[in-house]
Amino acid sequence: MSFSLVAPTVINGLTMGAIYALVALGLTLVYGVLHIINFAHGSLLMLALYAVYFLHSQVGIDPYLAIPIVGPAFFVIGYVLQRGVIGRASHGREQTVLLVTLGLALIIDNLALYFWSADTRTLDLAYAFETIDLGVALVPVPRAIAFAAALLVAGLLWLVLDRTDLGKAIRAVAKERQGARLVGINVDHIHALCFGIGTATVAVAAAILLPAFYVTPQVGYTFVLVAFTTVVLGGMGSFAGALVGGLLLGVVEALGGLWFGESLGEIAIFGLFILVLLFRPTGLFGTKAA
């Protein structure tokens, strides 16, 4: 396979992988702290995509400028969902959380289908088709922005977790729930905060994703599997892992598509997912035992 064909494919895969990483960051935070798998993550992404879409089509706000609106709004949604529904309905059992979030996904996806129909919607933006010439390949501007944003958001999350008092409290809850409670940390509040931050992150991802993508009520399911794969690949709870995992997935998918054909490219993702789950469930960077 010639370099002139592989290089653009790898770059294309890297930019798609950055989007996967961006979507997976919130999921990995929620898993790392709450030790729960949020099945509704993709549905929340879909909801945020619609929010960004309607902010543009109805109010005329540019997707990137919508971040200060959808970010806080989805933080509140996430906080309320965790505190009001997930935490209460699951009786603190891991297996039940998965089912409760599945229930949420069913509700969100099908309400979206009811209100907004199954139509695929895309934004018509002037800059969506502009490209940056990298010499070996042309990269669309929205993809380049997504790549930078993934690095930025991962860095920000890491800063918050590693350098602030809030981050210290979050890490305490993640490591030792009972001990954290004993030293006066409100565990339920921290859990909800994390879920809120995770949901806000996915809303930011939606704003950055939409100029280069589309939205349908089913888009969440497409992404939820890829996001799980990214998180598992990188090691659950690791931001750097999610970043590298996402990029790796993007490249694997692109090369898989190049070598096995478009329809089988996706198989590379799930094949990798199954292999990692089976042979290295702690992920490539994870330290926690599964």
Partner 1 sequence: MVPTSPSAVVSNRVMTPHRLLAVLLVVTLLAVPFVVQSSFWLTFWTMTLLAAVLGQSWNILGGYGGQSSFGHAAFFGTGAYAAAILQVRFGVDARLAAIAAIGFGAIAGAAIGMLSFRYGLRGSYFALVTMAFAEVFRIIAVAWPLTGGGAGLNVPLHAGAATLQFVDRRGYYWAALALVAISIGLAAWLERSRFGAWLVALRENEAAAQALGINIFRVKLGAITLSAALAASAGVFYTQYFLYLDPGIAYGPGYSIEALLGPIIGGTGTVLGPLIGAISLHLLGRLATAATGGAPGLDLAFYGVLLIGILAFLPRGLTGLGAGVNWPSAWRRSRG
Site for partner 1, rule CB under 8 A:
37, 85, 87-91, 94-96, 98-100, 102-107, 109-111, 113-114, 217, 221, 225, 228-229, 232, 261, 263-264, 266-267, 270-271, 273-274, 277-279, 281, 290
Q: Residue 138 or residue 277: which is nearer to partner 1 going by CB?
A: 277
Choose between 8 and 222: whose C-beta lies nearer to partner 1: 222
What DSSP string describes 142-202? HHHHHHHHHHHHHHHHHHHHHHSHHHHHHHHHHH-HHHHHHTT--HHHHHHHHHHHHHHHH
Q: State the minimum distance, in angstroms, from the CB of residue 8 to partner 1.
A: 24
Of 82 and 199, CB closest to partner 1: 82
Taking the complex as a whole, the smallest distance from the CB of residue 249 to partner 1 amounts, in Å, to 13
* Runs of H (alpha helix) within the chain: 3-34, 41-54, 67-80, 87-89, 94-116, 141-163, 165-175, 177-182, 187-209, 219-234, 239-260, 262-279
Phi-psi label, residue 235: left if phi above 0, alpha if psi -120 to 50, beta otherwise: left
How deeply is 138 buried, as exposed, middle or buried, from its count of CB atoms within 10 A (0-12, 13-18, 19+)?
middle
CB of 277 to partner 1, least distance (A): 5
CB 147 within 8 A of CB 14: yes
CB 25 within 8 A of CB 236: no
Cβ at position 85, least distance to partner 1 in Å = 7
Between 81 and 157, CB nearer to partner 1: 81
Kindly tell me which of 164 and 287 has the beta carbon lying closer to partner 1: 287
d(Cα 65, Cα 78) in Å, to the nearest integer? 21
Q: Which is nearer to partner 1, 103 or 167 (CB)?
A: 103
CA distances from 172 to 30, 241, 251 (A): 14, 20, 35
Burial of 183 (0-12, 13-18, 19+ CB in 10 A): exposed
* Minimum distance, C-beta of residue 105 to partner 1, in the bound complex (Å): 7
Query: Nearer Cβ to partner 1, position 62 or 188?
Result: 188
CB of 75 to partner 1, least distance (A): 21
CB of 177 to partner 1, least distance (A): 15
In angstroms, the CA 72 to CA 222 distance is 25
The least CB distance from residue 286 to partner 1, in Å, is 12
Secondary structure of residue 132 in the 3-state scheme = strand
Whole-angstrom distance, CA of residue 170 vs CA of residue 162: 10
Give whichever of 50 and 273 is closer to partner 1, judged by the CB atom.
273
